[in-house]
Structure 1
Amino acid sequence: MTRSAEEYALVHALIADGCDTGRISRLTGVPRSTVRDWRLGLHARAERAPRDLRCQQHDYRLIPGAPYSYLLGLYLGDGCISPSRSTWRLRIVTDARYPRIIEGCASAMEDVMPGKRAYRLVRPTRCVEVSMYSNHWICFFPQHAPGRKHERSIRLVAWQDEVVQRETQAFIRGLIHSDGCRIVARDRGVRSVRYHFSNRSEDIKGLFCAALDRLQIHWTRPSDRQIAIYRKADVRRLDEFIGPKR
C-alpha cells in the first residue's frame, strides 16, 4: 500500500519528538513495520508536493464557515504553519486542562479539511499540540509568512473577511480560546465576570475589536496588549457563545 505524503511527514515528526514505534503506529494507523522502515531511513513511496506554491484550485465559498472562522481565531492566537518534508503542518497549541477546546480544535480542522485526520500530541509542559498535514494550509491561511505574527502585517484577504463577517461569533470564540480568558473576580465583595484578550500583534487585536464592534459589544483597553470586556450585558452576550473554558 502506498502511503501519503501527510502520513510520512507525521511519522517523521513523531520520530523527531521521540515517540516509540508502537505509539506512532497507534497514533497514525501506519503499520509498525512501515514505521520501522521509515525510522531506518528507507524511502517512503509518497508523492512529493511543492512546498512554496499556493494553488489556485479552491472555491473558498464552499469552506464551512463556522469551523473555519473558529480555526482562524485559534491560528491567529496560538497557531503556526511549518513545512514538513513534502507538505505543510498546521499546529495549534492548546492547554491540556481544556479537553473540550482540544476536541473543538481537532473537529474544526477535520471539518475544514474533510477526509484528513487531526492528531493530538501531549507535551510535558501540560499543553497539547493539535496538528494536521495538508498541502493546502498555506492557501487557507495566507497570513503564513516568515517571522513572528506581531512583527509583521496581519490582514484578512477578501474571502476570509466575508467568512468572518458571516461567522463573527465563531471567530471571537477562537481568539478567546487561544489568547483570551473569562475571569470571575470579587470587587469589594461583589462577584464580577469579565473577558480578557491579550496579544502582541496590533493587527490581531484590531481584528478582535472589529469583530466585537460588529456585534455591538463594548470593549476597553486597560493596557497596551490587553482588551477587556467588563459591562454585564456584554459579558452575558459573550457567555451565550463562549462561556468558561473547558
Structure 2
Amino acid sequence: MYSEHVRQQARELRARGLTWQAVATELGVSVSAVLAWDRDPHAWARRLSECPRCGDAPLDSPAYSALLGYYLGDGHIARAARYYALRVACDTTYPGIINDVTDCITKVRPGARVFLVRRPGCINVQAHWQHWACLFPQHGRGPKHERPIVLASWQQAIVEDHPGPFLRGLFHSDGCRANNWTRRTVAGEPKIYRYPRWQFVNASQDIRELCCWALDLVEIPWRPSNTRTISVSRREAVARLDELIGPKT
C-alpha cells in the first residue's frame, strides 16, 4: 500500500504530461497503481475512511475485543504485496469457535470475505485487508512470546469496557475446561472430589498477564499453575467464567 506522498507525486507527474509508464518508472511503482490513481483520485481517501483507526469508520467494540483475544491466542498477521492477512488457527473439532471467529471478523471488517483454509489438524480463519495492522499494532516479526506484547491505550479501553469477549477469545483459543480431582481423607476414609476448572496456557508472559488483568476486571480469582498456565478453579469462579465466555463448541 503506497503512501499519500507517493500518490501525490504521481498526480503531479501526470499533470506535467508524463505517461503512466513513465510515472511508474520514475516512482518505482506498478503501472496498474498509477492507472488506478489517475482514474479514481479519491479511492485512497475512501480506503482510509474504511479504517476505524486512520479513518472514521465505526468499530464494533465487543467483536473487536473478542477478536483481539483470538489474535493474541492463536492468531497472526502476514504482510502481502497489497494487504495484510489476518489468520486465526482454529481446532477442527470446535466448529462453533470457527463460526465465532468468522462472525467477529465480519463485524470488525464489514463486507470482508472470510476464507477457511485447511491445514493439518486445524483451519485458518483468514481475511485480507490493508488496515489489519492498524487494528492490531502488536503485529511484528517472530513468535509473540519472543517479543513484547503491550496493548495500546485505546485497546485497553475497549477491553475494560468488554472484558468478557476478550476472555472468550483468549480461553477459546489457548484455553480449556477440564475436570480435575483431588483425594482427601474424611473421617478416616479416603474420598475423591472432582471439580471443573478453566486453564489458559500461553508461552508469552505478557499475554498471560493480560489474561490475568482481564480476569481481575471481572473479579474472577485465578492462580498460576506453572510457568505457562493460569488456572481458574474455585467453583463460583468457574461458574462466573462459564457465564461470561460460554462453552468451547
- The answer, yes or no, to whether TM exceeds 0.5 is yes
CA offset at residue 241 of structure 1? Answer: 2.2
Q: 1:59: how far off?
A: 4.1
Q: Aligned partners of 2:146, 2:101: CA distance in 1, in Å?
A: 26
Give the deviation of 1:147 after TM superposition. Answer: 1.8
Q: Which runs of 5+ in 2 are unaligned?
A: 1-29, 38-42, 184-191
Q: Given the alignment, which residue of 161, 170, 175 partners 2:165?
A: 170
What is the CA–CA distance in structure 2 between the aligned matches of 1:102 and 1:187, rounded to whole Å?
A: 34
1:118 aligns with 2:114: yes
Q: Deviations over 1:198-230 (max 9, x none)?
A: 111111011000000111110011100000000
Residues 39-54 of structure 1: pairs in structure 2 closer than 5 A: none
Report if the CA contact (8 A) 1:150-1:200 is conserved: yes
- Given that residues 175 and 200 in structure 2 are in contact (C-alpha distance below 8 angstroms), is that contact kept between their aligned partners in structure 1? yes
Give CA deviations for 1:168-219 in whole Å, capped at 9, x if unaligned: 0000010001111111234344331000001111110110000001111100
How far does residue 72 in structure 1 lie from its aligned partner after superposition?
0.3
Structure of greater Rg = 2
Matched positions, count: 199
2:223 paired residue number: 220
Given the alignment, which residue of 55, 60, 63 partners 1:58?
A: 55
The residue correspondences of 1:136-147 to structure 2 (distance < 5 A) are: 136-147=131-142
Structure-1 separation of matches of 2:219 and 2:212: 10
The whole-number CA distance in structure 2 between the counterparts of 1:59 and 1:151 is 33
**TM-score if structure 2 supplies the norm length?**
0.74
TM-score, length-scaled by structure 1: 0.75
Root-mean-square deviation (CA), in Å? 2.4
Residue 77 of structure 1, CA deviation? 0.7
Alpha-carbon shift at residue 84 of structure 1 (Å): 1.9
1:242 to partner: Cα distance: 2.2
Corresponding residue for residue 91 of structure 1: 87
Structure 1: which 4+ aligned runs deviate by more than 4 Å?
A: 45-50
CA–CA separation in structure 1 for the residues paired with 2:203 and 2:70: 15
- SS of 1:241's equivalent in the other structure is helix
Match of 1:129 among 116, 124, 131: 124
Distance 2:232 2:125 in 1: 28
**Counterpart-to-counterpart distance in 2, 1:241 and 1:150:** 26
Sequence identity, in percent? 42
> 3-state DSSP class of the match of 1:103?
helix
SS in 2 for 1:208: helix
Aligned to 1:240: 243
Give the counterpart letter for 2:223 in structure 1: T
Query: What is the DSSP-based 3-state SS (H/G/I as helix, E as strand, rest coil) of the residue aligned with 2:224?
Result: coil
How many angstroms apart in 2 are the aligned matches of 1:185 and 1:223? 16
Deviation at 1:244, TM superposition (A): 2.8
Paired residues of 1:164 and 1:171 also in contact (CA < 8 A):
yes
More strand per residue: 2
Look up the equivalent residue of 2:104 and give its one-letter code.
Answer: A
Q: 2: distance between equivalents of 1:169 and 1:114?
A: 22
Q: Secondary structure at the match of 2:87?
A: strand
Question: Residue by residue, what CA displacement relative to the aligned partner does 1:13-69 show, whole Å, maximum 9, x if unpaired?
Answer: xxxxxxxxxxxxxxxxxxxxxxxxxxxxxx9x786999xxx9862347x31111100
Does structure 2 retain, via aligned residues, the 8 Å contact 1:182–1:243?
no
